[in-house]
Structure 1
Amino acid sequence: MSEASQPGRQRGFLGFVERAGNLLPDPTIIFVYLILALMVLSAIGSAMGWEASLPYSGSKAPEHAELANGVLTYRASSLFSEENVAKLFTEMPKTFAGFAPLGLVLTIMIGAAVAERTGLFSALIRASLRNAHKGLLTPIVAVIGMVSHHASDAAYVVFIPLAAIVFAVAGRHPLAGLAAAFAAVSGGYAGNLMPGQIDVLLLSFTQEAARIVDPTWTMNPLGNWYYICAIVVLFTPIVWFITDKVVEPRLGKWGGVVDEELRADLDKAEVTAEERKGLRRAGLVALGIIAFFAAMALWPGYTPFINEEAKGTARLQPLYASLIAGFFLLFLLTGIVFGRAVGVVKSADDVVKMMQHGVRTMAPYLVFVFFAAHFVAMFNWSRIGPIIAINGAEALQAMALPAALLLVCVLLLSSFLDLFIGSASAKWSALSPVVVPMFMLLGVSPEMTTAAYRMGDSYTNIMTPLMSYFPLILAFSRRWDGTMGVGSLLALMLPYALSFMAVGIAMTVGWVLLDLPLGPGAQVHYTPPTAG
């Protein structure tokens, strides 16, 4: 019997977390239950006359609201009513296909599938870490780990075990390298130097929720850019200090030998001449794409990515909207030129097959989105969302709690849920229709609420055995220490998680108090619309 399956694993708080989490169904089924509960709640709300109002100076009421004498009113509508039942069945394809996150994520994933299948992501990770300086090994691992989120599974399957091997070859304890990499990849999941797929995914759910209050609100894929960069800056020295001063001394001197097997594993991580050529070509293509988008925004007399009639940051909205296509082209074209260089792309058919593979891997997401889309749509039809948001905002306003403290509450709620539900998008798709409108009415921007959620969803990934990659990391760790169990790995990661938590809360509070921009055109505060 392995360590992971021994009865002792079920004891204590961690055992409770594992047992409770194992009782939860798949996130898709959770949304089925949420839809059923929402239907019952909407019937109760309609029968009891639930409603909420707020002043509104516009001339046209938003969808699902009534406007009279400058007051906007939302009244609960039963999902069992004739209108809503007809809408559920007649608009089912429209509800699914019209769900904003679906098209955005699929667009990027089709391109990212090419970059991943050609080996571009893996080569980038190996090239970045293979010849790292021994003295700077830990911070390099930390930065690469947080940037490697764009590589999806490769961050876990390639980067984390490679970090352990590189530490071992450098004469350092391989478990320290594994811990540093796991902390960066999973505990620092909210951090990155460039926005990517997760930004588009979460902010697209934010857009759906924000439009409950402001139908004109449009997602900016760079809406959290400065915030996620700051996470990298703050978390990197934390990983460095804890790895070198806490974890590695606790592990003691590594008694292993750099034998032929270990050398062979490191040789497998070597970047070939063809891969280096592919990386150079991919880099040139990436620069070309950046130059193209810059030209479309700056070329004299021809600026399709600029709204010349708008003012302020609104002028850049077409540029922000075009970034979805930009990420698609970046992943697709760099993947193609890399694949040509290494010989895995010989014809257009190869590229098409890679795209198809990317869509196939999205099948579980498509099933999940079908139910999530209907939950969000039915939430809007019932009017429960704005009623909770308006009444909740009024209650919080009466308590006179500062915005920073309110956002910490969102952060901690996200952390707690992450112990049981690993999917960031599943949690946010359920939470955002309530918390985003509520905080908008309190003057907190959708981008800031999303940032707080992301922070809370990040550091708890390394604190729970229910995280989907936890068993894989445990298997990696047992290569170096056969006695490693669930508790051993959690104890190894706990110093990182608690440090990330403390710094993450302080960073979020400081961001609000200092009123720092979250990204280009994205601020902490939000002013409710006053025009129709």
Structure 2
Amino acid sequence: MAETAAPAEQSRGFLGVIERAGNRLPDPVFLFFYLILALVAISVLASLIGLDAVHPAEVDPETGAPRVIAAQSLLSAENIRKLWVEMPATFTHFHPLGYVLVVMLGAGVAERAGLFGTAMRAGLRNAPKKLLTPLVVFVGMMGNHAADAGYVVLIPLSGIIFHAAGRHPIAGIAAGFAGVSGGFSANLIPGQLDALLFGITEASVETVFGDYTANIAGNWYFIAGMTFIFLPVIWFVNDRIIEPRLGTWDPQYADEKLATPQEDRPLTEGESKGLRWAGLAVLAVCAAWAIFVFGPGTPLIDQEAAPEGRLLPFYQSLVAFFFIMFLAAGWAYGKAAGKIANHRDLVKMLTGSMEDMAYYLVLAFAIAHFVAMFAWSNLGLILAVGGADFLGSSGLPAWALLAAIILVSSFINLFVGSASAKWALLGPVLVPMLMLLGITPEMATAAYRVGDSATNIITPLMTFFPLILIFAQRWDRNFGLGSLAATMLPFSIGLMIAGVAMTIGWVVFDLPLGPGADVFMEPPTAVDPTGPAESL
């Protein structure tokens, strides 16, 4: 087994403090269970002291006075009845659940058939030596759609390819890690993460403002911008700072059994054919959706709606689009490459993709009840109104507020690695609060994503951090936890600076975040968690 740094060395300094504090946190499932208990206690106390807020835009229909929203105890008879009677509906109606499961059905087939791993190998194998870093980073960012495949396939493969090109293998691992995890939200097209986060955003809006439909493509232009801004930052840091610091690789410190793995072999004829078939399948799905938008009857365009609402069916169909696209591409690849013999193999892959989601289902059960109970207590609306009043009176511009959200998200990310768990915790407060200040849910989600990405690569609490350490130790058995954190810290700082600057620029120039998604909005004029929000 590869040697690691001594425990005493691993526990020193600021990273050691973070590691010790984070290790004391329970599993995210139980973390939300404890948060629910705390929420119950807070709701009881808030109800007893008469905590309330004056609605900024709504009046009582009987008196004509501004409507007062009072905190509700979660131990009231009505809320206890809701908890036990509506428990199945609370879980099954949790919006992220449907979004994620549908997209993962298709993505699971593409991953299990080997499409994602083969596509990564094809994109990197013949890369020019000087362009290795940007190609590794770009493939890593695009590989976010492959879920765990980016970590398991691309990162060790990057070390192999750098070594084959005469460069330091750990620099390749660092570049791959920075692309996959530091650029976690950067991509040219929306995917699983968008479905997950915007499902939570939708639920966060509904805790305060009633019915709302999230636009899964609401950050499309923003994440594409992240791709083009983050890529040169990671390229510069890796080639100008990290690789010179690593020096010349010394093979005497490498694993004695290190050999060229099978992942570095050329593509087989079947794999090459599979990639061609997968590409044709993607084009076919895109063509089908174009027909649905522009063809006879325009099924995905509501011609009778107001201009701003005509594309709503198209946005709502994007979850199905990505499901069909990943499913068709995975099936086409698998058939051509010999990985899928018949429909039974396909069903097994579909079933296997749902098996991989078992933990998420348990976590979603806990998150769904936390979000629902947060809405029942009225604390979300009270915090949103109070927070909006405070921030509005502070005179801070929108860009400063969003920059602060990025910093808070990145700090919390050091302790809670799950992107969905953090957004489920922050979203119900941040999204309604910013909406009352005229900032859209899409912009709030975009700011959160920047903060969530930047510190992924420096926290030992991130799920794959130990795995990356093992990959690095194959090339240098003395490469310890502190070595990995120190290697990735310059990437994290660079990504944070670039992400904050990009967000500020996006707000200042009021650029669209995606199709039909802007930075600013009219603050809601009718707020009722049990009914539709008129201005939404």
State the TM-score bracket (shorter-chain normalisation). Answer: over 0.9
Of 282, 285, 293 in structure 1, the residue corresponding to residue 289 of structure 2 is: 293
Shifted more, 203-212 versus 66-75: the winner is 66-75
Can you give the 5+ residue segments of structure 2 that lack an aligned partner in the other structure? 527-533
Kindly tell me the number of residue pairs found equivalent between the two proteins. Answer: 525
- For 2:263 and 2:318, the matched residues in 1 are separated by 37
Say if 1:175 and 1:53 are closer, same or farther in 2 by CA, change over 3 A.
Answer: same
Structure 2 partner of 1:320: 315
Aligned: 1:424 with 2:425: no
Say if 1:520 and 1:453 are closer, same or farther in 2 by CA, change over 3 A.
Answer: same
Question: Over residues 458-489 of structure 1, what are the superposed CA-to-partner deviations in whole Å (9 max), with x where a residue is unaligned?
Answer: 01011111111011100000111111001111
Residue type of the alignment partner of 1:448: M
Structure 2 partner of 1:32: 33
- In 2, are the aligned partners of 1:55 and 1:70 still within 8 Å (CA)? no
Question: Over residues 489-528 of structure 1, what are the superposed CA-to-partner deviations in whole Å (9 max), with x where a residue is unaligned?
Answer: 1111111111111111111111111111111111001212
Say if 1:269 and 1:157 are closer, same or farther in 2 by CA, change over 3 A.
Answer: farther
The secondary structure found in structure 2 opposite 1:52 is strand
Structure 1 partner of 2:530: none
- For 2:48 and 2:350, the matched residues in 1 are separated by 50
- In 1, are the aligned partners of 2:440 and 2:518 still within 8 Å (CA)? yes
Aligned: 1:243 with 2:243: no
Of 193, 217, 226 in structure 2, the residue corresponding to residue 198 of structure 1 is: 193
- For 1:528 and 1:103, the matched residues in 2 are separated by 28
Structure 2 partner of 1:129: 124
Structure 2 partner of 1:19: 20
Residue type of the alignment partner of 1:517: P
Residue type of the alignment partner of 1:363: A
- In 2, are the aligned partners of 1:474 and 1:489 still within 8 Å (CA)? yes
- For 2:299 and 2:5, the matched residues in 1 are separated by 57
Structure 2 partner of 1:279: 275
Aligned: 1:148 with 2:149: no
Aligned: 1:329 with 2:324: yes
Query: How far 1:55 moved relative to its partner?
Result: 4.1
- In 1, are the aligned partners of 2:133 and 2:172 still within 8 Å (CA)? yes
Can you give the 5+ residue segments of structure 1 that lack an aligned partner in the other structure? none
- In 2, are the aligned partners of 1:171 and 1:254 still within 8 Å (CA)? no
Structure 1 partner of 2:529: none
Residue type of the alignment partner of 1:270: P
Question: Over residues 422-470 of structure 1, what are the superposed CA-to-partner deviations in whole Å (9 max), with x where a residue is unaligned?
Answer: 0000010011000100000011110111111110010101111111101
Query: How far 1:314 moved relative to its partner?
Result: 1.7
After TM superposition, the structure 1 = structure 2 runs for residues 256-275 of structure 1, keeping only pairs within 5 Å, are 256=251, 264-265=260-261, 268-275=264-271
- For 2:241 and 2:450, the matched residues in 1 are separated by 23
After TM superposition, the structure 1 = structure 2 runs for residues 372-521 of structure 1, keeping only pairs within 5 Å, are 372-521=367-516
Say if 1:246 and 1:356 are closer, same or farther in 2 by CA, change over 3 A.
Answer: same
Say if 1:479 and 1:518 are closer, same or farther in 2 by CA, change over 3 A.
Answer: same
Say if 1:68 and 1:91 are closer, same or farther in 2 by CA, change over 3 A.
Answer: farther
- For 1:400 and 1:506, the matched residues in 2 are separated by 20
Aligned: 1:111 with 2:106: yes
Structure 2 partner of 1:6: 7
Residue type of the alignment partner of 2:310: R
What percent identity do the matched residue pairs reach? Answer: 51
- In 2, are the aligned partners of 1:393 and 1:439 still within 8 Å (CA)? yes
- In 1, are the aligned partners of 2:207 and 2:371 still within 8 Å (CA)? no
Shifted more, 290-299 versus 245-254: the winner is 245-254
- In 2, are the aligned partners of 1:27 and 1:426 still within 8 Å (CA)? yes
- For 1:36 and 1:261, the matched residues in 2 are separated by 51
Of 154, 164, 167 in structure 2, the residue corresponding to residue 159 of structure 1 is: 154
Residue type of the alignment partner of 2:152: V
Say if 1:263 and 1:124 are closer, same or farther in 2 by CA, change over 3 A.
Answer: same
Query: How far 1:57 moved relative to its partner?
Result: 6.0
Say if 1:208 and 1:264 are closer, same or farther in 2 by CA, change over 3 A.
Answer: same
- In 2, are the aligned partners of 1:125 and 1:159 still within 8 Å (CA)? yes
- For 2:258 and 2:128, the matched residues in 1 are separated by 19
Question: Over residues 292-351 of structure 1, what are the superposed CA-to-partner deviations in whole Å (9 max), with x where a residue is unaligned?
Answer: 11111111x411100112233421110010010011101111111111112221121111
- In 2, are the aligned partners of 1:156 and 1:185 still within 8 Å (CA)? yes
Residue type of the alignment partner of 1:328: F
TM-score, length basis structure 2: 0.94
Question: Over residues 83-117 of structure 1, what are the superposed CA-to-partner deviations in whole Å (9 max), with x where a residue is unaligned?
Answer: 11011001101111111111111111111111111
The secondary structure found in structure 1 opposite 2:309 is helix
After TM superposition, the structure 1 = structure 2 runs for residues 78-89 of structure 1, keeping only pairs within 5 Å, are 78-89=73-84
The secondary structure found in structure 1 opposite 2:311 is helix
The secondary structure found in structure 2 opposite 1:190 is coil
- For 1:249 and 1:269, the matched residues in 2 are separated by 29
Question: Over residues 17-39 of structure 1, what are the superposed CA-to-partner deviations in whole Å (9 max), with x where a residue is unaligned?
Answer: 11000000001111001100111
Shifted more, 347-356 versus 428-437: the winner is 347-356
Structure 1 partner of 2:214: 219
